[in-house]
Amino acid sequence: MQLSSRDFSNAHRVLKIRGLKVGLTGRPNAAAVLNGIDLDIRAGETHCLVGESGSGKSVTSLAVMGLLPKGALEVQGGAIDVEGFEITTATHSQMRELRARRIAMIFQEPMTALNPVLRVGEQIEEVLNMHTDLSQAEAKKRTLDIMEQVHLPDVERIYKSYPHQLSGGQRQRIMIAMALVLDPHLLIADEPTTALDVTTQLQILKLIAEMQERKGTALLFITHDMGVVAEIADTVSVMQNGRIVEKAPIRELLTDPKEDYTKKLLTAVPNLAPRPARAPASAKEVLEVQDLEMVYGGGGFLKRSGGVTAAQDVSFAIAPGRTLGIVGESGSGKSTVARCIIRLIDPTGGRVNVAGTDISTLSRRQLQPHRKHLQIVFQDPYRSLNPRWTVARSLCEGPINFGTSKAEAMEHAAELMELVDLPRDALKRYPHQFSGGQRQRIAIARAVAMKPDLLIADEAVSALDVSVQAQVLDLLDDVQERFGIAMLFITHDLRVAAQICDEVLVMQKGRVVEHGPAGDVLQNPHDPYTRNLIEAAPGRQWDFANFRALGTSPLNEGAPA
C-alpha cells in the first residue's frame, strides 16, 4: 500500500488555527462544541480530519469558512489565520471576498449542495461574476475551461443542464469546478465522497488529488472513512468530543497510533477479508427466490412504453442460520429485490417461496399470515421508527396483530431490550431520546419481536459510525445464532459484507453478475465488475486492525509496503 510520505515543512503555511473554541451562541458557560483546536496546513498538503459523528469535524470547517449557523454557534476564543488574514474578527464583506478566492469548500451531498433551479454553468459562472470583472464571454470561456479540467464530458451541454439531469459523480465534479475556478489556496472538502458509489468515489478522489497537485492547493479533508484517509492523507488529525486527540503523519498514525481512541477507531474498521462460512442450521431453505423480475412503468395509457427493468433473472436461496449478502452500487437493484421479497412492492415476474409457499402473487389479505415470517430493518433508524410512539408500542404492535396478548407482548418486549443491550425502562421512552446506534438496536428488536424466519437488513448499518457499526453487526450475529434466523443483508459496503455474509451475490443494473461463497467472491472474483468494485474499495491493501499493510507479517512492519 502506497502511503503518502511527502514532506511539506518548507512549503508556506496556508491555514493556522490556534486554540479555537466554538460554543452555543450566548451561552459561554455551556459545554464547548470545539474546545481548543490547533491545526496547520501547508500549501500542497492534504490534511485529513477524522472522527465519528458529533466530534466537531464539520463545525471546524464551517468556522474556517465563517459559516457557523447564525444564532446557534459562535467562535468563543482562539484564532483562525488564513495566509495572514484573521477569520474570527473579519467583517461580513471581508469574509465574502475571502471565500472562493482564498478558501473554497466542497460539501457531502452534491444533489442538495447545488441549487436545483439554476443551470450548473450559471452556478459556476456566478463565482466569477461575484469576484472578477470578466466580461460575460470571458466568464463563460473560463467556466467551460474549468469544467474540462475536472474531466466533464460534452461541457457545452452540461453547462446548460440542471443538477437533476446529471449523475452524482458529475454533480460532485461541478462542485469541485465551482470551488477551484478562482484557484483558492485552501480547499475544504467535507465528506465529499460519502454519498457516492465506490467506483465514483475513487474517480473523485483521483480528481481532487490531480487538481491539488496542479494548483498546489492546501486541502483540509473531512471524513469518517479510514480507507479514504489511507488513500489520500499526508497528515491526520483525529477528533473526539470537540478536541484533536492525536495528530500525526499518515504512516505513523496507521502503524503506531498513540491514543486509545485512535486505536479504537482503527480496529473498528471492518476487514475486507471475509469470515469463514458457517454451516446452515438446517438443510431446508427458508427463502427461495426464482427468476425474480421487477419492471417499473411500462404499459402506459396512450402509447406503450418500455418501462425500466430494476431486477431480472434473480435467483437464490437462504438456509436458516446463514447470511446472504447482496452487494452492488446505487441503482443495481439490490433494494428492489429486498422490497419484492417482503412485498412492499409487487414483483412483475418470478417466484418468492417462503417456507414452501409462493408469496409473490398472493393478495394483500392472503399475504397477511405470511408477514410474520419476514421482517426488515431499514437504513435510517431516525425515520423507520414512529416518533410519536413509545418503544414499547412499536415493539408490541406486530405481535398483538398476530394474536399475542398485550401482557405477553410486553413481557417479550422487555426480554428483547435485554437482548439488544438496552435498559428495560427504554420501553417507556420515545425514539428521539436514543442515539442512532441505539435506535437501530430498537429497530432490530422490533423485527425480532415477530419471531421471523428471515430477517432482511437493507443497508442497516450504513448510517452508523464504524464503532457503532461493529456493535450492531455483532448484535445481528448474536440474534441470528440464538434464533437460527436466515438473513438477507443488503449493502454497498464490501467491508461490511465481508464481516457478516456467508454467501455474496453481486448485482449490476438489475442482474446478478456473480454469486458464491463470500470467500470466493471477495478474494477471487471472476466477474470484471466485481473485481472493479473490490479494487475501488479505499485502503483495501491496509489491515487497519493490525496496524500494518495486508499481506505483510508483523516483522517487516514499518517498511514501505
Partner 1 sequence: MFSYILKRILATIPVMAIVAVFVFLLLRLTPGDPAAILAGDAATPAQLERIRDRLGLNDPLHIQFFTWIGQMLHGDLGTSLISSTPVAGMIGDRIGPTISIAIMTIIISVLLAVPMGVIAAWRHRTWVDFLVMSFSVLGFSVPVFVIGYILIQIFAIELRWVPVQGYAPLSDGIGPFMTRAILPSLTLATIYVALIARMTRASMLEVLGEDYVRTARAKGVRENVVLFRHALRNAAVPILTIIGTGFALLISGVVVTESVFNIPGIGRLTVDAILARDYPVIQAMILFTAGIYVFVNLIVDVSYSFFDPRIRY
Does residue number 118 form part of the binding site for partner 1 (CB under 8 A)?
Answer: yes
Span from 64-72, 247-255, 497-505, 541-549 in contact with partner 1 (CB under 8 A): 64-72
Q: Find the DSSP H helices in 390-454.
A: 391-401, 406-419, 436-448
Span from 90-98, 209-217, 231-239, 413-421 in contact with partner 1 (CB under 8 A): 90-98
DSSP code of residue 538: T
Nearer to partner 1, 108 or 312 (CB): 108
Is the CB of residue 268 less than 8 Å from the CB of residue 285? no
Span from 96-104, 255-263, 361-369, 513-521 in contact with partner 1 (CB under 8 A): 96-104
The single residue among 30, 31, 72, 130 that binds partner 1, judged by CB under 8 A, is 130
**In whole angstroms, what is the distance from residue 107 CA to residue 196 CA?**
12
CB of 165 to partner 1, least distance (A): 9
Span from 47-55, 114-122, 408-416, 540-548 in contact with partner 1 (CB under 8 A): 114-122
**In whole angstroms, what is the distance from residue 460 CA to residue 445 CA?**
13
CB of 85 to partner 1, least distance (A): 14
Mode of pairing for the β-strands spanning 503-508 and 357-358:
unpaired
Nearer to partner 1, 97 or 557 (CB): 97
Does residue number 507 form part of the binding site for partner 1 (CB under 8 A)?
Answer: no
Q: Which amino acid is at 407?
A: A
Nearest to 357 by CA among 370, 348, 347: 370
**For residue 486, what is the enclosing H or E element?**
strand 486-491
Nearer to partner 1, 112 or 524 (CB): 112
CB of 71 to partner 1, least distance (A): 7
Does residue number 380 form part of the binding site for partner 1 (CB under 8 A)?
Answer: no
Nearer to partner 1, 99 or 322 (CB): 99
The single residue among 13, 16, 18, 131 that binds partner 1, judged by CB under 8 A, is 131
**For residue 401, what is the enclosing H or E element?**
helix 391-401
- DSSP string across 520-532: HHHHS--SHHHHH
The single residue among 29, 84, 117, 365 that binds partner 1, judged by CB under 8 A, is 117
Binding mask 208-227 for partner 1 (x = CB under 8 A): --------------------
Instruction: Give the 3-state secondary structure of residue 386.
Output: coil
Is the CB of residue 60 less than 8 Å from the CB of residue 247? no
CB of 524 to partner 1, least distance (A): 42
The single residue among 83, 126, 397, 557 that binds partner 1, judged by CB under 8 A, is 126
Nearer to partner 1, 104 or 413 (CB): 104
Does residue number 112 form part of the binding site for partner 1 (CB under 8 A)?
Answer: yes
Site residues (CB under 8 A) for partner 1, limited to 132-171: 162, 164
Instruction: Give the 3-state secondary structure of residue 267.
Output: helix
Nearest to 337 by CA among 503, 509, 532, 517: 509
Does residue number 27 form part of the binding site for partner 1 (CB under 8 A)?
Answer: no
**In whole angstroms, what is the distance from residue 281 CA to residue 321 CA?**
5
The single residue among 32, 33, 39, 65 that binds partner 1, judged by CB under 8 A, is 65
What phi and psi, each to the nearest 5 degrees, are found at residue 2?
Answer: -90, 95
Site residues (CB under 8 A) for partner 1, limited to 166-195: 175, 178
Is the CB of residue 230 less than 8 Å from the CB of residue 543? no
Does residue number 87 form part of the binding site for partner 1 (CB under 8 A)?
Answer: no
Nearer to partner 1, 48 or 127 (CB): 127
Is the CB of residue 332 less than 8 Å from the CB of residue 507? yes
**In whole angstroms, what is the distance from residue 249 CA to residue 234 CA?**
6
CB of 162 to partner 1, least distance (A): 5
Nearer to partner 1, 145 or 421 (CB): 145
Residues with Cβ within 8 Å of residue 94, at least 6 apart in sequence: 85
Residues with Cβ within 8 Å of residue 513, at least 6 apart in sequence: 506, 507, 527, 529, 530
Helix %, strand %, coil % for the chain, to 5?
40, 25, 35
The single residue among 22, 82, 98, 204 that binds partner 1, judged by CB under 8 A, is 98
Does residue number 116 form part of the binding site for partner 1 (CB under 8 A)?
Answer: yes
Does residue number 120 form part of the binding site for partner 1 (CB under 8 A)?
Answer: no
- DSSP string across 239-290: EETTEEEEEEEHHHHHHS--SHHHHHHHHHSPPSSPPPPPPPSSSS-SEEEE
Residue 376 CB coordination number (10 Å) = 22
Please state at what angle helix 466-483 crosses helix 436-448, rounded to 10 degrees.
10
Does residue number 97 form part of the binding site for partner 1 (CB under 8 A)?
Answer: yes
Please state at what angle helix 198-215 crosses helix 528-536, rounded to 10 degrees.
50
Nearer to partner 1, 115 or 366 (CB): 115
Residue 551 CB coordination number (10 Å) = 9
CB of 97 to partner 1, least distance (A): 7
Nearer to partner 1, 49 or 450 (CB): 49
Cell numbers 491555514 correspond to: 15
DSSP code of residue 430: -
Site residues (CB under 8 A) for partner 1, limited to 66-85: 67, 71
The single residue among 96, 370, 451, 509 that binds partner 1, judged by CB under 8 A, is 96
Site residues (CB under 8 A) for partner 1, limited to 458-487: none
**In whole angstroms, what is the distance from residue 483 CA to residue 475 CA?**
12
> Binders of partner 1: how many residues, by CB under 8 A?
30
Does residue number 115 form part of the binding site for partner 1 (CB under 8 A)?
Answer: yes
Q: Site residues (CB under 8 A) for partner 1?
A: 65, 67, 71, 92, 95-101, 104-105, 107, 109, 112-118, 126-127, 130-131, 162, 164, 175, 178
